[in-house]
């Protein structure tokens, strides 16, 4: 069973790399379209934060725990943004300004994947293998658009497709790393699920509002940004409903 839990979480992690597929077709579009795609990705992340993460968290714990978790997640992102600016971190040979957004997205999505890894382990620990497998499959499919969100700022700066795949998969590494411990120590991890889901949702919401939407507005009109974000949000909402997340 431990091997099955690990493999299910590993496949979920690898699925994040599929988020790069759209860039085989939109690689040569202009800045305006990149702005609209960024807004759509932001809408998807908002939808996932509210209708998947926060909603699931409220069903697994107290509202206060979820609220505190979301505020802590937002504070974490704000702190991370300041840390990146102060440390002058950069990716490869890129400048600090070119690297900043990618680093923030990667860090936020990395944190976001932690409660998902815990959820997979806890799902299997219920004793219903089918439930654990379906949960892992749903998270795997759910990871694909998240991989797109990770790849977007990287491709804007000229990163190769394989580099985008690598960074996308990296953001979901916590899933296979945490699924097995969560399965073995369900009684310890279970109370952490609700606030952890809220933490991830709060960080993603702050990321979208602070980074993705403002950058989209610099590339396209307010109407295009608004429609793109709305379409992304509604599409992810339908996606979440179909998967039963």
Give one DSSP letter per residue of 185-230, joined into a string: THHHHHHHHHHHHHHHHHHHHHHIIIIIHHHHHHHS-HHHHHHHHH
- What are the phi and psi torsion angles at 20 (to 5°)? -80, -15
What sign does the dihedral 144-148-150-154 (CA atoms) show?
positive
Burial of 158 (0-12, 13-18, 19+ CB in 10 A): exposed
Element housing 77 (H / E): helix 63-87
**10-residue stretch averages of pLDDT, the chain, 245 residues long:** 89 92 71 79 83 81 91 87 72 69 81 80 73 76 80 81 92 91 78 82 85 85 94 85 67
Tell me the three state secondary structure of residue 175. Answer: helix
* Distance (Å) of CA 213 to CA 67, 139, 158, 222: 23, 25, 21, 10
- Domain locations in the chain as residue ranges: 2-23+30-243
The reported pLDDT for the residue numbered 153 is 80
Contact criterion met (CB below 8 Å) for 99 and 159? no
Tell me the three state secondary structure of residue 90. Answer: coil
Tell me the three state secondary structure of residue 30. Answer: coil
The reported pLDDT for the residue numbered 107 is 82
| Tokens at 203, concatenated | 């960080």
Question: How far, in Å, CA of 66 to CA of 195, rounded?
Answer: 5
The reported pLDDT for the residue numbered 122 is 75
| Tokens at 197, concatenated | 């889901």
The reported pLDDT for the residue numbered 130 is 73
Give one DSSP letter per residue of 32-67, joined into a string: HHHHHHHHHHHHHHHHIIIIIIIHHHHHHS-HHHHH
């Amino acid at each position: 069973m431990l091997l099955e839990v690990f493999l299910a979480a590993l496949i979920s992690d690898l699925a994040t790399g599929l988020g790069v597929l759209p860039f085989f077709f939109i690689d040569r579009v202009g800045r305006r379209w990149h702005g609209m795609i960024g807004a759509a990705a932001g809408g998807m992340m908002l939808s996932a934060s509210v209708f998947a993460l926060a909603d699931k968290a409220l069903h697994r714990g107290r509202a206060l725990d979820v609220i505190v978790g979301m505020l802590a997640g937002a504070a974490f992102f704000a702190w991370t943004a300041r840390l990146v600016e102060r440390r002058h971190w950069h990716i490869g040979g890129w400048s600090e300004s070119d690297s900043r957004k990618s680093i923030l997205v990667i860090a936020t999505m990395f944190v976001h994947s932690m409660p998902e890894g815990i959820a997979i382990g806890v799902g299997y620990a219920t004793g219903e293998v089918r439930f654990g497998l379906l949960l892992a499959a749903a998270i795997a499919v759910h990871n694909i658009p998240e991989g797109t969100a990770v790849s977007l700022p990287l491709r804007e700066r000229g990163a190769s497709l394989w580099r985008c795949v690598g960074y996308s998969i990296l953001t979901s590494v916590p899933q296979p790393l945490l699924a097995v411990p969560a399965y073995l120590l369900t009684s310890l991890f279970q109370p952490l699920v609700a606030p952890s889901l809220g933490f991830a949702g709060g960080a993603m919401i702050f990321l979208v509002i602070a980074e993705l939407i403002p950058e989209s507005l610099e590339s396209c009109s307010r109407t295009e940004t608004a429609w793109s974000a709305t379409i992304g949000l509604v599409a992810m909402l339908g996606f979440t409903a179909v998967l039963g997340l």
